[in-house]
Chains A and B, each alone.
Chain A
């Protein structure tokens, strides 16, 4: 569902992503990890077609995001870390608008919205303007809107920021359930235990390069240690100074 072929992005003189090759299958839950500035958000922007790659290409649902952007985007939803919402709409109005933008029938929008509001515990806030909602609630509204048209691929950047433990649990459950039902999830995060708990496979990006990819066990093998994912991550993303200091 998501395929990248030698995807590269250069900003001025800085190479943010270098020769990224990914192949993520239908229904796979893929976690994308990396230190700050590793190139995760740039990769996401390349996958969603917001940025043009300097070389290589990205295919979403079999469509090249640059050559056939509309066809590719029909199958995806993107939730950034700070999603855009219309402050003066209420959550239901926002859902209706988003549904219409994805060519959904009004009855389907209302039915799906009801389900999603129940799932994300948004019934109490449906008639409040979005500007009056807390960050966590806004995050849940954005996620509900992203799932409204049942996308084949969900690309999500730091979904747990600002969520209380209960809401975080709900989001994790929904993502896992949808993934099992066939939706591909591409989740970028710094929170290692989310990746550890949810992901089928994990990719680690460091300085724009994919330095490791595989299941948790495979990453442990690559790192050469048996501890938690955190240990593997820290070992794999060591800087040159840290490597030199450890010798």
Chain B
């Protein structure tokens, strides 16, 4: 069969599948359609306003405004490029080596490299569409700020197509080589090792701003610091710099310069595609076969091999035994949850990326020292930090806690039949996720507050808020997870398709995320209100502020209690009535 025919059949089929999915969403629930549409419009509207004001503010800076705006674009595309490479690697691994569809295709009378090419295209689309969706408001805001015509948006869209191919090819090549030549257990540890090394490198090489210098001329100093630290994004061999240059040139009306960089991207994208496809021929099939032929990893040194392939939770179970009044059933479920999480590649790879980003965030906090700024800035930064920590927690609970019940649902025959019932299973998931969330949030809050030199009383208040938010966000995630489970088609043929990322992408996952964001917005607004009123409104006196904040915290406690108990109560009622 010709390559073109193979692609045409698969494109036709996938378009038909996409159309069916859209129809299914529309027919399934008006609530789902409304929530999703509101979320999309809300995101676009809010992002557009943020970028619009941001560009106008930066452009108004005397002397350096235009340069800072341009540098923001370079930074944005550099960040996008790195995220696209990671995204392609994660999706590419699942799509190339773990998908049942790939196994089926490899039994068809088509060469393995054709299957690889198709999967490369599929991965590239899956990994890139969200980034184009997310960056759309920024492009519109930039275009309007530059008074660019309608043609500008069309050209930028065209620019994105070859740009997404380069990270897709890099991601696929990395995955191909790693899968072909590294044992997955070695890869897992190598990834953690690289993550740790990257963090150490950031700690060493990312230098904090010198506060003394900045006190003299804060704005100029900060701008100078930003421009100096982001110089790497202008590196002429970075594909992201070509995109930025092309977009800037088109925005300014320099058609030829913009077209030149577009052609640079296009030619490199084609070259990357050719290299990827040429390398794929045998490596993909060898890698696939190797990936499905691996036994447990052995170094050949008995003592080390025992440790590496140790299947038992040698530390976990004894540690759990130390917790008083923890019965054996709950302990067994906790051990099972932790083991399954640890051994699921699709879970931990995304977990590593989450924590990598968190690590970078914490390291960068050193650049925003608290005490050299004025009070308005201090309030802004402290609450921005609380907001960032809670948003991260909300994303984590939606991604990792929400799918737990749906994953369990496919194994209801075992956990649903055990003597203590599904209600206990749900409560166990709530407590386990809450404890983990509290450890993460409180650690993050303490570290970030320490780095920002936030006063002790405010640090304690934020930590206490972190505890409340952990309970509430886990309550929302576990509750909504049980109320709107995503068991897939339920067919036995798809029993291996237990991908948590797919479960999250359904209505329940979107609803859970939106609800978490609404809760976070409410909590931050209430907690920030006293400080805001004192500093900006002049309604409160300085000595009244701590009491007002404690009062606000108590209101937040009540709201958090409601956010925790309401979804959990509804979910417990639901599982009590559930027919298995």
**A-to-B contact residues, CB < 8 Å:** 9, 11-14, 45, 48-52, 69-71, 73-74, 76, 78, 80, 82-89, 93, 97, 100-103, 129, 131, 133, 135, 138, 142, 162
The answer on a CB contact under 8 Å between B104 and A14 is: no
**Is B580 close to A, CB under 8 A?**
no
Which of B12-20, B147-155, B416-424 forms part of the interface with chain A? Answer: B12-20
Bound form: Cα–Cα A76–B109 in Å: 9
Find chain A residues with CB under 8 A from B100 CB.
82, 84
Bound form: Cα–Cα A14–B297 in Å: 11
Q: Known contacts being A69-B111, A88-B20, A88-B21, is A50 close to B289, with CB within 8 Å? A: yes
Chain B interface, >50% SS class: helix
The answer on a CB contact under 8 Å between A50 and B103 is: yes
Which one of A48, A49, A83, A97 contacts B13 once the chains associate, using CB atoms below 8 Å? A97
**Is B544 close to A, CB under 8 A?**
no
The answer on a CB contact under 8 Å between A48 and B107 is: yes
The answer on a CB contact under 8 Å between A73 and B17 is: no
Bound form: Cα–Cα A145–B5 in Å: 19
The answer on a CB contact under 8 Å between A69 and B289 is: no
A139 vs chain B, min Cβ distance (A) = 8
Find chain A residues with CB under 8 A from B298 CB.
12-13
A183 vs chain B, min Cβ distance (A) = 17
Find the A residue at minimum CB distance from B13. A97
15 A–B contacts, CB within 8 A, in A order: A12-B295, A13-B296, A14-B295, A51-B293, A52-B289, A76-B107, A82-B492, A84-B100, A84-B101, A88-B16, A88-B20, A100-B5, A101-B6, A103-B1, A129-B20
**Is B212 close to A, CB under 8 A?**
no
Bound form: Cα–Cα A82–B101 in Å: 12
Count: A-B pairs, CB below 8 Å: 100
B98 vs chain A, min Cβ distance (A) = 13
Find chain B residues with CB under 8 A from A48 CB.
107
In the complex, which residues 486-518 of chain B have their Cβ closer than 8 Å to any Cβ of chain A? 489, 491-496
In the complex, which residues 20-60 of chain B have their Cβ closer than 8 Å to any Cβ of chain A? 20-21, 24
The answer on a CB contact under 8 Å between B106 and A50 is: yes
Find chain A residues with CB under 8 A from B6 CB.
101
A108 vs chain B, min Cβ distance (A) = 15
Bound form: Cα–Cα A11–B100 in Å: 20
In the complex, which residues 273-309 of chain B have their Cβ closer than 8 Å to any Cβ of chain A? 285-286, 288-290, 292-298
Find chain A residues with CB under 8 A from B16 CB.
88-89, 93
Bound form: Cα–Cα A138–B20 in Å: 19
Bound form: Cα–Cα A133–B493 in Å: 11
Find chain B residues with CB under 8 A from A83 CB.
104, 493
**Is B110 close to A, CB under 8 A?**
yes
Find the A residue at minimum CB distance from B114. A70
Find the B residue at minimum CB distance from A136. B492
- Name, among A70, A88, A133, A142, the residue most crowded by chain B CB atoms within 10 Å (CB to CB): A88
Find chain B residues with CB under 8 A from A162 CB.
492
